[in-house]
Chain A
Amino acid sequence: MEKEKVLEVKDLTVKIGEKNVLSSINMTAYKGRVLGIIGESGSGKTMLCHAIMQSLPSLAQITQGQVLYRQEDLMAMSASKLRAYRGRHLSMIMQNPATAFDSIQTIEKHFLETLKAHFVMTKKEMRQIAIDTMYKVNLPNVEQLLHYYPFQLSGGMLQRVMIALSLAIQSTLYIADEPTTALDTVNQKQVLTLFDRICSETGAAIILVTHDLGVIAELADDVAVMYKGEIIEQANVFDFFDAPQHPYTKKLLQSRITF
Chain B
Amino acid sequence: MTLLEVKNIEKYYSQRQFIFRRKHEIPIIQKVSFSLREGECLGIVGQSGSGKSTLGRIILGVERPTNGEVLFQGVNLYEATSKDKKMVRRDLQAVFQNSYDSFNPKQTIFEILEEPLLNFEHYSKIERQHKVMELLDCVELANTIAQKYPAQLSGGQQQRINIARALALNPKLIVLDEAISSLDMILQKHILQLLQTLQKERKLAYIFISHDLQATHFMSDRILVMQHGQLMEEIQKGQTCQHPVSQELYNAILPSHPRGRNKIRY
Cross-chain contact A213 with B185 (CB below 8 angstroms): yes
Q: Which of A42, A185, A215 contacts B212 (CB 8 A)?
A: A185
Cross-chain contact A259 with B47 (CB below 8 angstroms): no
Cross-chain contact B211 with A214 (CB below 8 angstroms): no
State whether the Cβ of A233 lies closer than 8 Å to any Cβ in chain B.
Answer: no
Contacts known (A196-B265, A252-B185, A255-B185); A154 close to B254, Cβ less than 8 A: no
Cross-chain contact B258 with A241 (CB below 8 angstroms): yes
State whether the Cβ of B141 lies closer than 8 Å to any Cβ in chain A.
Answer: no
Kindly state the separation between the CA atoms of A221 and B265 in the bound complex, as whole angstroms.
9
State whether the Cβ of B160 lies closer than 8 Å to any Cβ in chain A.
Answer: no
Cross-chain contact B251 with A214 (CB below 8 angstroms): no
Interface residues of A in 205-259 (CB under 8 A from B): 211-215, 217-218, 220-221, 237-238, 241, 251-252, 254-259
Contacts known (A218-B261, A221-B265); A212 close to B185, Cβ less than 8 A: yes
Interface residues of B in 219-266 (CB under 8 A from A): 248-249, 251-261, 265-266
Cross-chain contact B215 with A184 (CB below 8 angstroms): no
Cross-chain contact A187 with B257 (CB below 8 angstroms): no
Q: Which residues of B contact A217 (CB under 8 A)?
A: 254-258, 260-261
Q: Which of A200, A212, A214, A259 contacts B265 (CB 8 A)?
A: A200
Q: Who on chain A is nearest to B219 by CB? A: A257
Q: Which residues of A contact B256 (CB under 8 A)?
A: 213-214, 217, 256, 258
Q: Who on chain A is nearest to B253 by CB? A: A259
Q: Which of A186, A212, A214, A257 contacts B218 (CB 8 A)?
A: A257
Q: Who on chain B is nearest to A213 by CB? A: B185
Q: Which residues of B contact A4 (CB under 8 A)?
A: none
State whether the Cβ of A87 lies closer than 8 Å to any Cβ in chain B.
Answer: no
Q: Who on chain B is nearest to A221 by CB? A: B266
- 9 A–B contacts from the bound complex (CB under 8 Å): A41-B155, A185-B213, A185-B254, A186-B211, A187-B48, A218-B254, A251-B186, A256-B256, A257-B189
